[in-house]
Amino acid sequence: HQILEGVEYIHRNKVCHRDLKPENLLLDENMNIKIVDFGLSNTYNLPTDTLKTACGSPCYASPEMVAGKRYVGLDTDIWSMGVILYAMTVGYLPFEDPDTNKLYKKILNCDYLVPGYVEKSAKDMMKCILCVEPKKRYTLD
């Protein structure tokens, strides 16, 4: 919930992070999440503004970024949050491969499996966030 609120806050302030991952989510002394490392972030004027630079950690990169297409920064942050949700729920990343080309192919095809012990509601949420088509992907709302 705190991650969601934090990302909502930065988006409301017209910033997309572009490198959301567990290493950039810290806990303070009161167990509050702090989003850090805005080195790859970018600002925007309209929520529909697009970017071209592929950046961030490959395992958390959205399909549109991996494909080299122009992308909406807000949509890529949502994708990364889906990868984080998966990792927090399952204990490992949905898309992994030491070969970057194979990793990108898995991301582009949304080729991942959710273990059977994950509740249906969580699986459904992951499916709606880890959606290859950005316009069909869940939004913060």
Residue among 19, 49, 75, 97 flagged as catalytic:
19
How many whole angstroms separate alpha carbon 13 and alpha carbon 78?
16
| Annotation says 19 is catalytic | yes
How many whole angstroms separate alpha carbon 132 and alpha carbon 57?
17
The beta-strand segments (E) located in the chain are 15-16, 25-27, 33-35, 42-43, 50-51, 71-72
- Which bin fits 56, alpha (ψ -120 to 50), beta or left (φ > 0)? left
Query: Active-site residues: which are they?
Result: 19
